[in-house]
Structure formats: C-alpha cells, structure tokens
Amino acid sequence: MLNNTKIDFLYLNEEDMVKAGVTNMKSCIDTIEEMFRLMKQGDYRMGGPNGNSHGVMITFPDNPPFPNMPKNGPDRRFMAMPAYLGGKFDMAGVKWYGSNVENKTKGLPRSILMLTLNDKDTGAPVAYMSANLLSAYRTGAVPGVGFKYFSNPDSEVVGIIGPGVMNKTAFSAMAAVRPLINTVKIKGRSRKSCETFAEFLRKEYPQIKNISIVESEEEAVRDADIVSIATSSPTGDPSSYPYVKEEWIKPGAMFCCPAAARFDDDFMLNRARNITDNIHLYEAWEEEMTFPAYDSIPIPAVHCMDLIQEKKMKKEQVDDLGDILEGNIPVHRKKDEIIIYSVGGMPVEDIAWGTVCYRNALKLGIGTKLNLWEKPQLA
C-alpha cells in the first residue's frame, strides 16, 4: 500500500479562536491544572538541554552595525517557545512572537503571537493559529490555579498593580474561582490605564461594587486578600521593581507575581511562603542567566534561586505547585500564611490550551483547511 503523503493543517484566525472557546476562562483553568499535574509526573518537554527553558530569544544591539538591522528598545525581540505535552494532549508545537512596544503607536498589541501545533511523530503541522488571546488567557489561568488553591475562599478585596492585559486575564481567573470579590483597588503608572481597567471591570463584572484608583502600592496592598502585580518594568536594577513592605500585608493574603516584584529578603527568608508554578523553570533561568539572575528576570522566585546560590536560602523553602496538586505537600503549611506565588510563563501552557481549542474547532467545523503538499518534492 502506498503511503498517504498528503498533509493538510487547520488555520485558525482570532475570530475562529473565539468561536473555539479560547476566552472560556473556567475551562482554561481546568486545562492548565491538568497540565501542571502532567508536568509533575514528568510527561512534558520544553527547550534547552535541561528540558525546562522558557524559550530562545533574539535581541538586538543598541547600535546596529547594519542599516536594516532593528535597534534595541523596550520589549524589542523575537522569541521561539517550543514544547511537548503528553497525557490526553499528546502534542508538540511552538509559539513564535515578535515584540515591540512601539506597536502601540500603530494600534497594534505590543506582541504579535502565533502557535503551531505539530504531530509528535512526523513533525507535520496540524494547526497554525492566532495566539494573542490564547496566550493572554493561559497567562491568566496559571494565576487562576493559584487563586483556586491558595487564596482565601472568602476573598473580597483585590489589589491590582499594573492595570494591563496581563492583569485583565488574571482578574478574569480570580472572578472564576472567587465569586465573593466585591472590591478592587487599582494602581497604575497613568490615570488613563487605571480608568481603562476600571471600565473593563464595570462592563465585564458588574458585581464589583467598589472600584477605586489609588496612588501608591501601599494603598493597593493594605486590606487586600489577593494582590496581582503585573507591571512592565525595566530590568537590571531590582531597586526599581514594584516594592511591597511586609507591614502593609494582610494576614493570609496571596500575591500573584507574573512580572517584576520585590519583597524584603528577611520576609522572604523567614515568614513568607514562596511557591513557583514550575521550580525547574527557575532553576533553568539560574543556569542560563548571568548571576544574579533576578537582575534580568524580575520574578520573586528568581530572586529565591539567587538566594539559594548564595546559600542564604534552602531549596526546601521554595514549594512547587505540582507537588501541591499531587498531594506531596499541603496546600497550606500554617494559618494565615502569606503566599508569594511566582508565575514564569511556559510554552507548555500554550500547547495545552492550544490543543483544547484546536480540538474544539475540529468538532465545531471552525477554521480553514490549508494544504502543505499532496506529495513532497524532496523525500
């Protein structure tokens, strides 16, 4: 019997992705939780020799030697993020994106993302999809798993530091798992960004009765049950990262940190509970980046890795989400503990949610079938 060499793949634009359920936060949280369980069992791979690399990034020089080469600037990069996820997903793929903060002046998002899903055996593409919404929602769902397990079930007050897209989907995840939230305090760099976030809350979550724009991190943190810090901060100088003082924090509060955040070392070493989404990701960053890695990757758990390398912190002082989901360690170690939950972002998340959306699209007849070839000219 002759082999069938024909390869078709499904193209899904952003509208197709919405129809396929990419904005269903509850389903996304469930998907990401299943992904974390598979990761703890070891049924995944990401890039790099350690199998846990965030991805491979192209950056540009400050003074390019060639006239057409891009010049370094805020968020000016290209990146490839490959992964394989097993279990019911059983899919390989890669997210690719270009990023440039100047996009905003053109009415475009800072980053433009696409996801390719590939057959694990042949490497053939099975889907090529718009990934801005996919990436945003999986980014919110990772905090969502943390909110589900670590935040107080009776949480009512939320502090938002950095009212951008990342915190919009993080809040969507909060609302999905903590329905009693009724108060949100917003701290941003500009009044406009805060007002935009407040309008988003009024439109999407009319049950939120108290929305206020505050002037300082302290006001956002005080009395909050959950605080999400997601600012786009320049790296290199940790003293410039958003800072939270221990005396501001309510007992039992949970901090979600998918971006730059800074706490006092004494607090992190002796009283806070430090939890990562995947501890091996932070270990990989510690291997890959110049020490101290926290200067380049401003997430609190990266600082923990630096403290471990300096022998100021023990490895056992950083808990891994997968261990908690698998029941290897308790959800809470003590009453009213303050949790710093670090979120690094991983391509395996894109594979998980992208696979679910792709399979939904197949069932619903959504998308455009494209042909790669009937028969390869080189085989």
Do 347 and 95 touch, CB atoms closer than 8 A?
yes
pTM: 0.92
C-alpha distances out from residue 106 to 109, 329, 335, Å:
9, 48, 49
For residue 62, the model assigns a pLDDT of 94
- Along the chain (379 residues), what's the average pLDDT of each consecutive run of 10 residues? 84 98 97 96 93 92 96 92 98 96 92 97 97 96 97 98 94 96 97 96 96 98 98 88 98 97 98 96 92 96 98 97 96 96 95 98 98 94
CATH number of 7-135+348-372: 3.30.1780.10
The rounded distance, in Å, linking the Cα atoms of 336 and 352 is 33
- The residue among 325, 216, 341, 217 whose CA lies nearest residue 273 is 341
The fold of 140-346 is Rossmann fold (3.40.50)
Position 50 scores a pLDDT of: 87
CA–CA dist 196, 163 (Å, integer): 8
- Where do the domains of the chain lie? 7-135+348-372, 140-346
User: DSSP strand E in 171-289: where?
Assistant: 183-187, 210-213, 226-229, 243-244, 254-257, 262-263, 273-276
The rounded distance, in Å, linking the Cα atoms of 28 and 4 is 35
How high is the pLDDT of residue 1? 43
